[in-house]
Chains A and B, each alone.
Chain A
Amino acid sequence: MRVVVCGKTTEIKEGTSLQDFMESHGLGKRQAIAVLNEKVVQNHLWPETVLAEGDYLELVSLVGGG
């Protein structure tokens, strides 16, 4: 199944939850904001959010800035 993550097409297994995906990339709740199809998915909803074919996932985080 294909999803687009940060602009890159990525192959993932059927039934992968957002939580699974984030954990497999070492991204905890403190580091990342998940924006799925232009909507922020709150941290506590990651486990029950299952990624679907064609989803567009944008991952952002707060960094230093002026």
Chain B
Amino acid sequence: MIEKDSLVIGGKELPSRFLLGTGKFGRKESMREAIVRSGTGLVTVALRRIDLDRNDENILSFVPEGITIMVNTSGARNAAEAVRIARIAREAGYGNWVKIEIINDSRYLLPDNDETIKATEMLASEGFVVLPYMHPDLYAARALVKAGAAAVMPLGSLIGSNQGLKMRTMIEVIIEEVREVPIIVDAGIGRPSQAAEAMEMGADGVLVNTAVAVAEDPVLMAVAFARGVEAGRMAWLAKGGKESAGASASSPLTGFLYEQDK
């Protein structure tokens, strides 16, 4: 039987375990539709300096009411910059949810766990709901929890790469060992089957952006991801059988018709 099974982060119950990023969408209207149709309850946005020669539309006018907005700290290269971005967003009235993303490697865009831990500690102590994006390392995950993270978000593979769960084993270790907060797989998830795989492993949620945004039909892809996440979650709750090397018949092999004693 399927019982109520919600993802709760920082005391807030989210309607879906599928979380969506808002970058790279060709049409903002498709993004809105992707949010609505997928049933996600949380989207990430970024903060950028305004170019006075160009007037961009506010992304929030395409995010339906009732969706939790989580500002990311992209562009931050260290803890101090991440903290500054989070404070600006909160002071401006965009809530207190923050995804910490601290990157100072321009080639592989890998998050800096040490700086991320520092920023998590500062922002959590200021009352932010902090979701740090991190390189899947058990010690770092534990330190993030100790620092006050509301969830821990290990990367599945290189950001925007669509490579799926290249970090699978290390994420499994974190899922197994870090039970205090939800584990959300973020970055690199390229297909709904990979999202389902993360959930089958026991992840509490999946955050996807590029794979949805760059699809020819982002709305359909968002729904596909949401269902992949849901299917994987149900499979995890259902506790499947173990993999085995040998065969095991699924139909009875005895008692054939017309079989005669010899």
Q: Residues of A at under 8 Å CB distance from B?
A: 5-7, 25-27, 30-33, 35, 39-40, 42, 58-66
Which segment of B23-31, B222-230, B244-252 sits at the interface?
B23-31
Per the CB 8 Å criterion, the residue count for chain B at the interface is 39
Q: Which residue of B lies closest to A31 (CB)?
A: B58
B88, A64: Cβ atoms closer than 8 Å: no
Do B49 and A65 touch across chains, with their CB atoms under 8 A apart?
no
Provide 15 A-B residue pairs closer than 8 Å at the C-beta atoms, listed in order of the A residue.
A5-B52, A39-B91, A42-B93, A59-B52, A60-B47, A60-B50, A61-B48, A61-B58, A63-B47, A64-B25, A64-B28, A65-B21, A65-B22, A65-B44, A66-B23
B173 contacts the other chain (CB 8 A): no
Contact surface of B with A, Cβ cutoff 8 Å: 21-25, 28, 31, 44-50, 52, 55-61, 69, 71-72, 74, 88-89, 91-94, 159-160, 187, 207, 209-210, 213
Q: CB distance B50 to A6 under 8 Å?
A: yes
Residue of A25, A39, A58, A60 with highest tally of chain B CB at under 10 A: A60
CB distance from B186 to the nearest CB of A (A): 8
What's the Cα separation between A61 and B55 when bound, in Å? 10
Our pick among B55, B71, B210 for the contact of A62 (Cβ within 8 Å) is B71
